[in-house]
């Protein structure tokens, strides 16, 4: 089983978005050294908690400070963009970093309706819900399959990074995404940290998968929220930061990631036990052995050959330590990197 990282670039209370982005570079370098398979960055807009508003802007710097790990988007929220622009951007990245770039594609807005509207170029009316058409156009640019009489047909052949191409993935947390991924023979990554009832959806993807010459076998990854520490008590304490953030998110009160001491007091005032993870979501937290067993259980449940781990803590060093402990628990083979290490994160 492969282990990978999804980084949402969390902004801790008392720090800045710039600090969070520097921490992303530092964590990517660590994940490469530890032997994780891929490092994806998320897309979220218009909030104080997550700094990753532009995966395409982060992927190049991440790939520049890493050597062996695959780097990509988890994902690009395609409804905000022109398919041709996305194809150009990611072939440039693939040309600069051959064999290492993934293009994870999502349908969600990654934000609230007003910010979604702010992201539109044409604001005379709401953008159409034409994701299937957008996705088909994007894939046609990458595999140069637009019909000869299509007005954009010549553009596929002049994508700037050719012959290098990114590997497209479809991301999802609902049955419809599984149907599209299966019909289009795309690798599929399911967001269990959003919807922990997705095992049947992943099975539906495999059942509906239509193999092609370019993509003869299905590939399933599952993204889980996990936090590892030397003791269960420490993991539960660190997890209170995320628990407070998500409790307030449900009340439409967006905040930076709070320190656990503040989160513990908040949860007590709310009449909630400080132990445990985020409300209403699967929570994998505890010691290395406990976290490994839980991750393996999820992989079996989903029939997944890869698990992508997302972790949010207030303290960046605690997040680093969590990924170190998980790597040790799974006996990942470290990479011997040749370039100098990064300077300390902010």
| pTM (two decimals) | 0.94
Q: What is the pLDDT of residues 293-307, one digit of tens each?
A: 999 999 999 999 999
Which of left, alpha, beta for 35 (phi over 0: left; psi -120 to 50: alpha)?
left
**173, 159 in Cβ contact below 8 A?**
no
The predicted structure's pLDDT at residue 337: 84
* Residue 156, pLDDT above cutoff 70: yes
Q: Give Cα separations from 318 to 27, 110, 227, 282, 294 (angstroms).
A: 11, 26, 9, 20, 20
* Secondary structure (3-state) at 170: strand
Average pLDDT for 169-180: 96
- Residue among 22, 89, 20, 102 nearest 308 (CA): 102
Strands (E), 107-208: 167-172, 188-191
Confidence class for position 344, pLDDT limits 50, 70, 90: low
Burial class (CB in 10 A: 0-12, 13-18, 19+), 294: middle
User: What pairing do the DSSP bridges indicate for beta strands 38-41 and 284-286?
Assistant: unpaired
Q: What is the pLDDT of residues 42-51, one digit of tens each?
A: 999 999 999 9
Confidence class for position 277, pLDDT limits 50, 70, 90: low
Q: What is the pLDDT of residues 202-232, one digit of tens each?
A: 999 999 999 998 899 999 999 999 999 999 9
Confidence class for position 346, pLDDT limits 50, 70, 90: low
The Cα–Cα gap between 8 and 102 comes to 16
* Secondary structure (3-state) at 198: coil
CATH of domain 2-223+290-329: 3.20.20.30
Q: Which residue has the tokens 């982005």?
A: 21
The Cα–Cα gap between 183 and 44 comes to 28
The predicted structure's pLDDT at residue 3: 98
- Residue among 327, 129, 314, 130 nearest 239 (CA): 314
**Contacts of residue 206, Cβ cutoff 8 Å, sequence gap at least 6:** 182, 218, 220, 303
The Cα–Cα gap between 276 and 241 comes to 11
* Residue 138, pLDDT above cutoff 60: yes
User: What pairing do the DSSP bridges indicate for beta strands 220-228 and 101-106?
Assistant: unpaired
User: Could you tell me the sign of the dihedral formed by the alpha carbons of 107, 49, 114, 282, in that order?
Assistant: positive
Give percent of the chain above pLDDT 70.
Answer: 97
Average pLDDT for 133-149: 96
* Residue 345, pLDDT above cutoff 70: no
Q: Which residue has the tokens 């440039």?
A: 92
- Tell me the pLDDT of the chain averaged across its residues: 94
* Residue 314, pLDDT above cutoff 70: yes
Tokens of 292: 């490994």
- Residue among 243, 267, 271, 270 nearest 257 (CA): 243
Which of left, alpha, beta for 120 (phi over 0: left; psi -120 to 50: alpha)?
beta
* Residue 122, pLDDT above cutoff 90: no
Beta carbons within 10 angstroms of residue 287's beta carbon: 18
Strands (E), 100-239: 101-106, 167-172, 188-191, 220-228
Report the Cα 5 to chain-centroid distance in Å: 7
The Cα–Cα gap between 56 and 60 comes to 7
């Amino acid at each position: 089983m492969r282990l990978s990282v999804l980084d949402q670039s969390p902004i801790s209370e008392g720090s800045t978005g710039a600090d969070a982005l520097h921490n992303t570079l530092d964590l990517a370098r660590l994940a490469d050294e530890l032997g994780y398979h891929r490092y994806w960055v998320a897309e979220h807009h218009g909030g104080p908690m997550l700094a990753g508003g532009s995966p395409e802007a982060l992927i190049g710097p991440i790939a520049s400070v890493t050597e062996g790990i695959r780097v990509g988007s988890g994902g690009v929220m395609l409804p905000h963009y022109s398919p041709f622009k996305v194809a150009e951007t990611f072939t440039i990245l693939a040309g600069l970093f051959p064999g290492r770039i993934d293009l994870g594609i999502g349908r969600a807005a990654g934000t609230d309706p007003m910010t979604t509207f702010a992201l539109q170029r044409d604001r005379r009316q709401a953008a159409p819900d034409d994701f299937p058409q957008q996705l088909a156009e994007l894939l046609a640019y990458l595999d140069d399959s637009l019909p000869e009489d299509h007005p954009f047909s010549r553009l596929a052949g002049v994508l700037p990074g050719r012959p290098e191409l990114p590997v497209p993935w479809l991301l999802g947390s609902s049955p419809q995404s599984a149907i599209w991924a299966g019909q289009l023979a795309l690798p599929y990554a399911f967001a269990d940290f959003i919807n922990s009832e997705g095992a049947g959806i992943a099975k539906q993807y495999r059942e509906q998968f239509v193999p092609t010459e370019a993509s003869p076998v299905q590939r399933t990854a599952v993204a889980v929220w996990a936090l590892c520490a030397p003791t269960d008590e420490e993991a539960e304490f660190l997890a209170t930061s995320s628990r407070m953030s998500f409790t307030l998110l449900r009340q439409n009160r967006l905040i930076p990631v709070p320190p656990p001491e503040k989160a513990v007091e908040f949860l007590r005032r709310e009449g909630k036990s400080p132990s445990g993870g985020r409300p209403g979501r699967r929570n994998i937290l505890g010691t290395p052995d406990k976290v490994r067993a839980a991750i393996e259980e999820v992989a079996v449940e989903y029939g997944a050959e890869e698990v992508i781990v997302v972790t949010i803590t207030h303290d960046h060093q605690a997040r680093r330590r969590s990924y170190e402990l998980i790597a040790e628990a799974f006996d990942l083979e470290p990479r011997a990197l040749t370039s100098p290490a990064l300077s300390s994160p902010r």
